[in-house]
Structure 1
Amino acid sequence: MNGKMHSETGAFSSDGMRAEILNPFVHKLELDNTYDKIKTAIFTVILLPFRVVVICYLIVTAWFLACIGLYGLSEDDLRRKPMTGWRRALKPLICFIGKMSYLAGGMAITIRGQQASRKEAPILVVAPHSSFLDSCIVYATKMSSVIVRKESMDNYVGKLINYTQPVYVWRDDPNSRQNTIKEIIERATSKEDWPQVLIFPEGTCTNRSCLITFKPGGFYPGVPVQPVIIRYPNARDTVTWTWEGPGALKLLWLTLTQVHSSCEIEFLPVYYPNEEERRDPKLYASNVRNVMAEALGVPVLDYTYDDCKLAARAKQLGIPGANAVREISELRSQLGLEQSQRELQLALPLSARWLAPHEFARALAVPLDAAAQRLFDIFVQRSSGMVYFPDYLLCACFLSLQHAPLAELLSYAFKLYEDGSGDGLSARAFAELTSRCLALSRDVALSALGVDLAGRGYITYDEFISYAQKKAELSFIFTCDTSHHKPKAQ
């Protein structure tokens, strides 16, 4: 099994140069040879059950101790003042049991460097964030206070998280971001002996191939922070959990059926901000990221959590080039296409749809430089060595209209995929379009074609919109946010 991280699209670093690494939100992991498949099957039978039983026993024990430590305390008590006395004395024991649960799963945790005291660094900045197994940092840092959504506390593990006296994020609170920053500032500057606040400033999981943009929330207090880096130096990467890749259960299964795994946690020297960094949390965050990236030996890329969500939405809808939408946006900006929205003007029937590199650049009215060539390479069909231009235009229109309802994107898509007659889309073209920008199944597409009662063999944009307005499952087409309306998969 190849455990190395793979990616499919390029990215640009903050200085505009092409990084040596690819999409940070993609991780591929497959059992690709017979030996690995047989070994995994054997360990699934003889090793996995034993490990699961021991891990469950240890987690339940830690949970039971957390319940004892929290007995008689309300959430308001946990937010008002730090634990003291015997309640706090239970923390080292819970941390020990937590580390043992990882060891029982075959993962040894190695700690390098020394954790600073709260007085030296009230905030611990942890990166890269690549796995749910990163939770081991809580045990390695003596149960520092995590930042957690309040909704995620209503589960079995909630007691253990509560025992860290976390900083809560309330999803239903319109002022959640400001209130979270306010509480972080209060914790970090308090004279009381609170646990250190532990933050993952990237805000989402990546494949550890780079450090993406750090959110500035944890840097607003302007206090010294201690950077902490996490590595998984394993021959097979069975822990990385990204937006595109294996799910949590598959990763857990493959990790628990490895003979041995390891995790390295390294405490870097405390970072003391200068006056300029204290006044500018974004600058502070960026400079700390640079220090951590240098220690890890990886580049920094100006990706954000919003970029990740945009790529996820594009993939969900089947948009061509979905995995590379962040880079496509950068390239369009470099070529002067983003501001002019030239693609919206080009969204017309084309006599020549399959384009070679020079034809592609000429169609965009840009020189065939490195940026244009890279844009071509993202959409090139390997079998022909050419780009199907409507695919590129559809992706470009998606980026230009990302905040508009999908119905507006559809109006351009109909023009892109029609045969030039202006009558509408044939059954084949309509199925192609709906798979590329709505991720609709062939059955749904054929149902929509049923509006063609006269047997004309085509469907117009107005006819489809009229049809969609009557279908609850297609209501996402008319909203600006499709995150709550997952299209039917093909």
Structure 2
Amino acid sequence: MESKTQENSNSGSIIGADEPKHITFPYDYTPVHPQLHQYKKQSFFHRFISKPIYSVLKPLVLVFRVSMILLFLFIQAILLTMIDFGTDKEKPQTVFRRKLFRLTTKICCSIILLAQGFVVKVVRKPAKNSKSAISVMNHRSGYDILVNGIIGVDGMIGKEAYTSNFLTGAPFKASRSIQIGKKNQTKSGFQILKERFTSGQNWPPITVYAEGTVTSFGVILRLRTGCFRLGLPIQPVALKFFYEEPFEWLFETVPEHFLATGNNLTGRIEASFLDVMSQQAGEWPRQFADRVGKAMADEIGSVYVPYQSEDVYYFNGKGDISKCTEEYLRDYGWMGTLKDYKEMCKKAGLNWRYEWPKEKFANIE
């Protein structure tokens, strides 16, 4: 009689056995708050030249940037709607249409990001002949979606908000991205991915932001395991931002985020395609996800932390403290929610957008 824990030589998973409910975080880490900026000194050029110039030109720069965003989002939406016209939305695009899609998005997304003061550079290209249906990318801001269009990863898993208007809905549909969070949706993102990539059709690669939410540049959250349960090779793509003023899309509203990005006249985004990684024999999906997350963090000099998206939701006042990880509560439970932390910083005379050690608040009432 065969054992119920027989190893699957193809995917590395363990057949017939349920993954343990909790697998201990396997790495040492330095605590870094996933929703607060890390203070750093600004360069002489930015502090005394570009920042003063920008303070004078800010209204003109913002008008220019808004105009360029709207113009090229509109142009992109029109072109992609034409490319997608008459196709079966339940099937992949033809090879020719996919090439047109990639060319269109690369040009439009590059111009939009350039107008915001950012250029994208692929510092580590995919290995030759490497193939993977799933790309896992760290999530830093709304710009990550534009980076996708530049580096040639077609679709993504995204929330319903992306399809709610013409400007963002057109590329989402043309790329055959996967929408989650729809009303009355009966299938999870994992189920949709599984059906797609076992159908035998030539579906394009899909980007999964496996952290589950947007985080600061200092960390990569412990990755969710959904896409790692498919037994498919994973293409890790690590993004690193170079900037002067902090601009992550964390707790800000869309207008606040856009105004914050405007503080950077110049910046750079580097994308690194790591080697494709596969699940090892006897390795649980949780362990596979951790191995990928750690490799991505090491590539861009971030910290892979045991915190998860539930910790972020709680800090933003939208979650339940009972769902927070033990590690987050141990390291940052003293902060409370963002509202609590703002009040503490106000009393201590500190900028609440930055992470400050607990000792800074020792003397406040």
Are positions 1:297 and 2:301 aligned together? yes
* TM superposition shift of 1:98: 1.6
Structure 1 residues 383-398: aligned runs within 5 Å: 383=363
Partner SS for 1:168: strand
Q: Partners in 2 of 1:55 and 1:29 — Cα distance?
A: 29
**CA 272–313 in structure 1, closer or farther in 2 if over 3 Å, else same:** same
* TM superposition shift of 1:233: 1.6
Are positions 1:105 and 2:116 aligned together? yes
Are positions 1:54 and 2:74 aligned together? no
**CA 215–85 in structure 1, closer or farther in 2 if over 3 Å, else same:** closer
Are positions 1:22 and 2:32 aligned together? yes
Q: Partners in 2 of 1:185 and 1:43 — Cα distance?
A: 50
Contact 2:311 2:328 in 1 (8 A): no
Are positions 1:262 and 2:271 aligned together? no
Q: Partners in 2 of 1:272 and 1:109 — Cα distance?
A: 27
Contact 2:217 2:241 in 1 (8 A): no
**CA 41–29 in structure 1, closer or farther in 2 if over 3 Å, else same:** farther
* TM superposition shift of 1:86: 4.7
Which of 273, 277, 295 pairs up with 1:271? 277
Question: Which amino acid is the alignment partner of residue 241 of structure 1?
Answer: W
Q: Partners in 1 of 2:361 and 2:160 — Cα distance?
A: 46
Which of 121, 127, 143 pairs up with 1:133? 143
Aligned to 1:225: 234
Q: Partners in 2 of 1:131 and 1:105 — Cα distance?
A: 13
Partner SS for 1:205: coil
Percent of matched pairs sharing the same residue: 21
Aligned to 2:78: 64
Contact 1:123 1:188 in 2 (8 A): no
Q: Residues 56-103 of structure 1: CA distance to partner in whole angstroms, max 9, x if unpaired?
A: 322211111011122234xxx322x21115532421331222212211
Are positions 1:330 and 2:330 aligned together? yes
Q: Partners in 2 of 1:331 and 1:108 — Cα distance?
A: 35
Aligned to 1:382: 362
Are positions 1:92 and 2:106 aligned together? no
Structure 1 residues 145-184: aligned runs within 5 Å: 145-156=155-166, 157-173=168-184, 175-177=186-188, 180-184=189-193
TM-score, normalised by the number of residues in structure 1? 0.56
* TM superposition shift of 1:55: 3.2
Question: Which amino acid is the alignment partner of residue 330 of structure 2?
Answer: E
Q: Partners in 2 of 1:50 and 1:134 — Cα distance?
A: 21
Question: Which amino acid is the alignment partner of residue 210 of structure 1?
Answer: V
Aligned to 2:249: 241
Contact 1:43 1:257 in 2 (8 A): no
Aligned length: 311
Looking at secondary structure, tell me which structure has more helix per residue: 1
Aligned to 1:307: 311
Q: Residues 316-356 of structure 1: CA distance to partner in whole angstroms, max 9, x if unpaired?
A: 99x9xxxx9965733799xxxxxxxxxxxxxxxxxxxxxxx
**CA 16–124 in structure 1, closer or farther in 2 if over 3 Å, else same:** closer
Partner SS for 2:316: helix
Partner SS for 1:270: coil
Contact 1:149 1:170 in 2 (8 A): yes
Contact 2:134 2:235 in 1 (8 A): yes
Which of 191, 195, 198 pairs up with 2:200? 191
Structure with greater contact order relative to length (CA < 8 Å, sep ≥ 6): 2
Q: Residues 112-160 of structure 1: CA distance to partner in whole angstroms, max 9, x if unpaired?
A: 2223689721111111x11111112321342522112235412131111
Q: Partners in 2 of 1:293 and 1:92 — Cα distance?
A: 28
Stretch moving more, 200-209 or 34-43: 34-43
TM-score, normalised by the number of residues in structure 2? 0.73
Contact 1:123 1:199 in 2 (8 A): yes
Partner SS for 1:90: helix
Question: Which amino acid is the alignment partner of residue 167 of structure 1?
Answer: I
Contact 2:307 2:328 in 1 (8 A): no
Q: Partners in 1 of 2:145 and 2:332 — Cα distance?
A: 38
Q: Partners in 2 of 1:326 and 1:93 — Cα distance?
A: 46
Which of 56, 59, 69 pairs up with 1:45? 59
Aligned to 1:210: 219
Q: Residues 353-388 of structure 1: CA distance to partner in whole angstroms, max 9, x if unpaired?
A: xxxxxxxxxxxxxxxxxxxxxxxx84985326xxx7
Q: Partners in 1 of 2:269 and 2:293 — Cα distance?
A: 21
Partner SS for 1:306: helix
Q: Partners in 1 of 2:360 and 2:264 — Cα distance?
A: 38
Question: Which amino acid is the alignment partner of residue 135 of structure 1?
Answer: I
**CA 66–288 in structure 1, closer or farther in 2 if over 3 Å, else same:** same
Q: Partners in 1 of 2:315 and 2:112 — Cα distance?
A: 35
* TM superposition shift of 1:36: 7.3
Q: Partners in 2 of 1:166 and 1:203 — Cα distance?
A: 16
Cα RMSD (Å): 3.5
Tell me, which stretches of 5 or more residues in structure 2 are unaligned? 1-23, 334-356
Stretch moving more, 85-94 or 133-142: 85-94
* TM superposition shift of 1:35: 7.5
Aligned to 2:336: none
* TM superposition shift of 1:311: 2.3
Contact 1:116 1:226 in 2 (8 A): no
Question: Which amino acid is the alignment partner of residue 153 of structure 1?
Answer: T
Q: Partners in 1 of 2:331 and 2:62 — Cα distance?
A: 47
* TM superposition shift of 1:210: 1.6
Aligned to 2:17: none
